[in-house]
Amino acid sequence: MKGEIMERTVERDDKGNDTVRSVPSDEREAFCRIHLIADQQLDFIRIRDLLTEISPKRYHLTLSLDYEGGFREIAQGGYDLCLVRERIGAARAIPWLRQAAEAFETPLVLLATSSLSRISEAIEAGVEEVLDFNRLGPQQLARTIEVTIARQRRRIRLARREECYRIAAERAGEGYWRWNPIQRCIELPPSARRNLGLGRENDVTPAVGWASIHPEDVERAQYEITEHAAGRKPQVAVEFRIRNAAGAWRWV
């Protein structure tokens, strides 16, 4: 079935009467934009009514009737959240969710109607939350929307900040140093590896790193890193001398 988009919102007057109207393009920025992927108009009506109960004028809900059309719409950007039904006909959402989670920034929430035993599979596919559609109420939906959107916006801010730090460090000639807790090694940019005389295949273990630091600076560097690891300092800010490939000491 070809995807279909509904550009409309719901307003409720003082007497509790609902009015469905089209949303002018210049007004859409004021809404929290949510896209629903489901093959039933009744699903759209139910989500619409829940959103209206939460806040009559805050949410802008649109609909696609199949996965392909829905994720094509999400790819255009501008949505704060995407709600996805677990099944549309014989098709399952999980394969589509894996592709969408890798390609788009829009957070995904799965609406399940069967047993929630597949929660881990959905989370691994990139879903932020799995909701029981049959028991879904306005409070749970409101909390999921707020938490999911806030979490995604924080991730985007952190990613952009990290990218700024990386660019600034590279332009300063120092590069960006990162501790990898899984492999227990220090990830260094090419410039730092050249200065230390290390090839790409060489892991910079803590032992190698500490051995390269000037003996007079080791204690101070260890203190700052320990304070950060213990959560007592938000970041590591320390200068120390490190021996380069030529055997000379250089401040970093």
98 plus 137 within the same structural domain: yes
57 plus 155 within the same structural domain: yes
Per-residue pLDDT at 9 exceeds 50:
no
Q: What percent of the chain has pLDDT over 90?
A: 27
177 plus 68 within the same structural domain: no
107 plus 72 within the same structural domain: yes
Residue 245's domain comprises 173-251
Phi-psi label, residue 125: left if phi above 0, alpha if psi -120 to 50, beta otherwise:
alpha
Q: Does residue 168 belong to any structural domain of this protein?
A: no
Task: Write the CB contacts of 112 (distance below 8 Å, at least 6 apart in sequence).
Answer: 86, 118, 122, 130, 131, 132, 133
Domain boundary among 113, 131, 161: 161
59 plus 31 within the same structural domain: yes
Q: Does residue 12 belong to any structural domain of this protein?
A: yes
Per-residue pLDDT at 75 exceeds 80:
yes
* Gap between the Cα atoms of 212 and 33, Å rounded: 52
Q: Does residue 166 belong to any structural domain of this protein?
A: no
Q: Does residue 90 belong to any structural domain of this protein?
A: yes
The pTM assigned to this predicted structure is 0.59
Quick one: pLDDT at residue 28?
45
Count of domains for the chain? 2
Query: What pLDDT band is residue 117 in, cutting at 50, 70 and 90?
Result: low
Q: Which tens digits make up the pLDDT trace of 162-221?
A: 777 767 666 655 566 777 777 777 777 777 777 777 766 666 777 777 888 899 998 988
**Burial class for 186, CB neighbours closer than 10 Å (0-12, 13-18, 19+):** middle
Quick one: pLDDT at residue 30?
52
Q: Does residue 237 belong to any structural domain of this protein?
A: yes
83 plus 204 within the same structural domain: no
188 plus 141 within the same structural domain: no
36 plus 76 within the same structural domain: yes
CATH of the domain at 37: 3.40.50.2300
Instruction: Say which DSSP state 84 is in.
Output: E
18 plus 57 within the same structural domain: yes
Domain boundary among 127, 161, 195: 161
Domain boundary among 109, 137, 161: 161
31 plus 146 within the same structural domain: yes
